[in-house]
Structure 1
């Protein structure tokens, strides 16, 4: 009865390499060399395609081919486990300013509602991913000045830590600050905490929702202030339509007695160079009971250049 050759795997600079351990094997040398070359590329899809072809064209040697595949898969799993362990250790030992990624954008806006102007807009979004924690920092400013007089001024900053409870479920906390004199308030603070869920998790599409109780304090221009217990509900949808085109849809609602706030933002982003893209977005903000003399609804249309880092 023919004797099957055994194999060993080593890791070379180019990836996994299969080395025959004995010289007696029924599998033709050109076929074996083809499988070894595929493994050396480190491309798992290519390895499996080559092995499928080898099995089809050499059915009598299927056992030897299967043994090669089993050895390859064992070593591949071991390498992946080692890489995952090294990555987790790097995350655990990272400093406060390590492992941040994000984007910055700069451009122009056009507003309607409490102010009808065209001005400059700038934004910054930072994210730090850990093993179970994620931290998000967001900031945005929209500003316009005409003849030395400020005619549009909006500021927003937020910090949101998330704690992963399962593959899709997470807990969140949120601290947010806003300023918009043309909506009638000099400062609006919000704090919230609750649960979120990743409804869709795909390579090209994600959808997350979250909800929880909230506290909001609004300081008006004339000196009065209000504090309210509210409820927060929000969603975050991202869709990579094509390689260089992405669609985003964000929406949130602070629901409370007095004046609730509903916000919706839609954007489309197109890549134009490495790490650089152009973004068009449209935001609607509606307050059910704004200060006296203020409009209920504001809109902002923005065109910005975005740099990812």
Structure 2
């Protein structure tokens, strides 16, 4: 009960469970980490939070996301998902769900092929369902010890189903960058950016800092930015943002 009481007082606080490298939000939609540098055959994370406020104003927020990745010598296979909803005075005003699959095949030490497919539903932003599939070429530009940087590019297709009952299918061009920089022995800067260019282009960005407190725990602060160039008429705002503070637990 003491733990539940504490969580109710921290609306931006979440507990996270990580076992390895990939630290970017599932929104960024980039391929898995380099299998040649993986420290084990499996890397997984689960992150979730719950916040509740009562009294004159009643609000509640529930969020959870997870990424599970399996590695072999030249390949990586990743499953990911996210769920989020927010209610105020017993009325839900934000709700989002996502799930997908990512694949990576190393051609050599620097170059790789990838494929990824995902679904998202965000009815308060006008989307009953958004299905996206892309494939293409990537390059591991830096792999440490201070810098890690990879880039991806490829064609794809996206099908949108809107909450007003209409739908569209369009070809798209995908590109992404994923970067991290070791600031100190215990602190890392992380940045991910992806663009899905089409008639309705989407830009996703995550900027953050991770600080290792000890071998098991770390503090992570992230700012996520999403911009749609042509949002649905039922949800005309083009930009959504999210700030989150997490305590990360590293699974042995």
How far residue 118 of structure 1 moved from its aligned partner, in angstroms, is 7.8
Q: 1:175 aligns with which of 94, 99, 117?
A: 117
2:190 to 217, 232, 248: 248
The secondary structure found in structure 2 opposite 1:166 is coil
User: Which residue does 1:285 correspond to in 2?
Assistant: 226
Query: What's the C-alpha RMSD, in Å, of the aligned pairs?
Result: 2.3
- TM, length-normalised to structure 2: 0.75
Q: Which of 110, 130, 139 does residue 72 from structure 2 map onto?
A: 130
Runs of at least 5 residues in structure 2 that lack an aligned partner in the other structure: 1-35, 52-58
Partner secondary structure for residue 222 of structure 1: coil
Match of 1:211 in 2: 153
Query: Counterparts of 1:118 and 1:103 in 2: how far apart (Å)?
Result: 24
Partner of 1:274: 215
- Is 1:185 the counterpart of 2:127 in the alignment? yes
Query: After TM superposition, what 4+ stretches of structure 1 lie above 6 angstroms from structure 2?
Result: none
Change (3 A) 1:241 1:121: farther
Cα 1:200–1:102 change in 2 (3 A) is same
Q: Give CA-to-partner distance per residue, 1:184-206, whole Å, 9 cap, x none.
A: 00110100100000111112321
Counterpart secondary structure, 1:242: coil
Work out the number of aligned pairs and report it: 206
Q: Is the 8 A contact 1:103 1:306 kept in 2?
A: no
Q: Distance in 2 between matches of 1:287 and 1:190?
A: 15
Which of the pair has the greater relative contact order for Cα pairs under 8 Å at 6+ separation? 2
Structure 1: runs of 5+ lacking an equivalent = 1-87, 92-97, 110-116
**C-alpha displacement at 1:280, in angstroms?**
1.0
In 2: Cα distance, 1:194 partner to 1:155 partner: 25
| 2:239 pairs with 1:263 | no
- Equivalent residues in 2 for 1:135-174, closer than 5 Å: 135-174=77-116
Tell me, yes or no, if the aligned pair for 1:107 and 1:305 is still in contact at 8 Å: no
Per residue, is there more strand in 1 or in 2? Answer: 2
1:212-256: per-residue Cα shift (whole Å, max 9, x none)? 001101111111111111010011112232232222111111111
* Greater radius of gyration (CA): 1
Once the two structures are TM-superposed, the CA of residue 108 in structure 1 deviates from its matched residue by: 6.9
Cα distance in 2 for partners of 1:149, 1:279 equals 30
8 Å CA contact retained: 1:145, 1:151: yes
Structure 1 position 148, deviation (Å): 2.6
Within 1, Cα distance between the matches of 2:196 and 2:50?
27
Rounded to whole Å, the distance in 2 between the matches of 1:156 and 1:203 is 32
Q: CA offsets, 1:23-51, max 9 Å, x none? A: xxxxxxxxxxxxxxxxxxxxxxxxxxxxx
Change (3 A) 1:280 1:176: same
State the SS of the aligned residue for 2:108: coil
CA distance in 1, matches of 2:105, 2:113: 5
Q: Which has the higher helix share?
A: 1
Distance 1:210 1:118 in 2: 38
